[in-house]
Structure 1
Amino acid sequence: MVELLFCKLLLNCDISVKAEIGQGLTIYHPYGIFVNSGAKIGSDFTCRAYVTIGNKGTDDERDGCPTIGDGVNVGVGAKIIGPITVGSNCSIGANAVVTHSFADGNVLVGIPAKAI
């Protein structure tokens, strides 16, 4: 419980204990990160500061959250929002806004995110 309080107050980092996150989570610079309770994240997930993974603001916070595959690497400030699927081994660029599903192995950049 002390760890959660430390994360929320000192680092402004809110990763729900109800979110499903696989083994091998790596967080570089854990500031301003938000992970909704309905998020499903695979193993070997890498995340950086100011990343948001959540729904589109529906009443049920577990409704409409992203599902993220294994081996995904997320850059600083990226947003992954809505009932979408990001395939395994994708890389999401800094400040990208991902609002649509993408297959395995894509590099996603831009607002809205596009595969390059």
Structure 2
Amino acid sequence: MFSRLREDIANIMARDPAARTALEVVWCYPGFHAIVMHRWAAFCWQNEFKLVGRFISLIARILTGIEIHPAATIGRRVFIDHGFGVVIGETADVGDDCTIYQGVTLGGTSLGKGIKRHPTLARGVIVGAGAKILGSFTVGEGAKVGSNAVVVKAVPAGATAVGNPARIVQKEINNAKEEAAARMFAAYGVTPNGDDPLSKALHGLIDNAAAQEHQIACIVALLKSAGIACDGLPLLDKFDPDQLNRLVE
């Protein structure tokens, strides 16, 4: 038990630059308190003292603002940062080395009993503040869920999910050093080059339209130089791709 506590404290010290001492973590980190109390509740639940387990989880919720069902599976070195408003459902499975920020919900979308209704977070997943992961599917190892994303389908390993409903951005890591840094710390699930894929698509369409307008202008100029009248073409407002790109950002 004490080795697990030391491991949790060391993990928080490594991941949170605001953590100054082990004593500060023990006394002042609600995520640490919630994980410890969840272990008590889970022990009671697994040994058929289910009401006691639920009561301990209720006390933990009152004290920390973090609600973890005693039947949920929480791995080693899980860091719940800030944590207020976090809800982890009954059949949720949180893997080792995951990071969960405040306002996150690992929720179910089914009323069935005795079935897995909540998501599984594989090893090293980072879930940003306010994100909702809803349903029985897996968020792959090393994946990231951006703040306020609403995830309703599986996320591949190493990818980033952003938006509502969440869209998948495949990871773009250039070298092992950057990959290790991103795996260690990606605040609130925000990573470099993690643009919304819808935004990228819109920028691509705008750039393509600008290129087509330039080609049309060249064609019209050539027709006029050849003596072919183009006066019948309707005049349109000048296309400003820079302005549209700024609106999409």
TM-score of the pair, normalised by structure 1? 0.89
Partner of 2:125: 72
Matches of 1:12 and 1:62, distance apart in 2: 27
Counterpart position of 1:104 = 157
Q: What runs of 5+ residues in structure 2 fail to find an aligned partner?
A: 1-39, 41-54, 170-249
Identity %: 34
Answer yes or no: is the 8 Å Cα contact 1:37–1:61 preserved in 2.
no
* Secondary structure of residue in 2 paired with 1:53: strand
The alpha carbon displacement at 1:68 in A equals 1.2
Deviation of residue 23 (structure 1)? Answer: 0.3
Is residue 27 of structure 1 aligned with residue 80 of structure 2?
yes
**How many equivalent residue pairs?**
116
* Greater share of residues in helix: 2
Moved more, 3-12 or 89-98: 3-12
Measure how far apart 1:99 and its partner are: 0.3
Cα distance 1:61–1:12, how it changes in 2: closer, same or farther (>3 A)?
farther
For residues 27-67 of structure 1, the C-alpha deviation after alignment (integer angstroms, 9 at most, x for no partner) is 11120110001001110010011100010141427532111
SS in 1 for 2:61: helix
| Equivalent residue in structure 1 for 2:102, among 21, 28, 49 | 49
Distance across 2 between alignment mates of 1:32 and 1:70: 22
- Equivalent AA in structure 1 for residue 83 of structure 2: P
Give 2:140's match in structure 1, choosing from 70, 77, 87. 87
Measured against aligned partners, the alpha-carbon deviations of 1:63-109 in whole angstroms (never above 9, x if no partner) come to 32111100001100000110111100001100001100121000110
Correspondent of 2:68 among 5, 12, 15: 15
Partner of 1:36: 89
Cα distance between partner residues in 2 of 1:64 and 1:89: 22
Partner SS state of residue 90, structure 2: coil
SS in 1 for 2:106: strand
Alignment RMSD, CA only?
A: 1.9
Q: Quick one: which amino acid aligns to residue 73 of structure 1? A: I
Which of the two has greater strand per residue?
A: 1
- Distance apart, 1:11 and its partner CA: 3.4
Question: 1:3: Cα distance to partner?
Answer: 6.7
Residue aligned with 1:8, SS: helix
Larger RCO, structure (CA 8 Å, separation 6 or more): 1
TM-score, normalisation: structure 2: 0.44
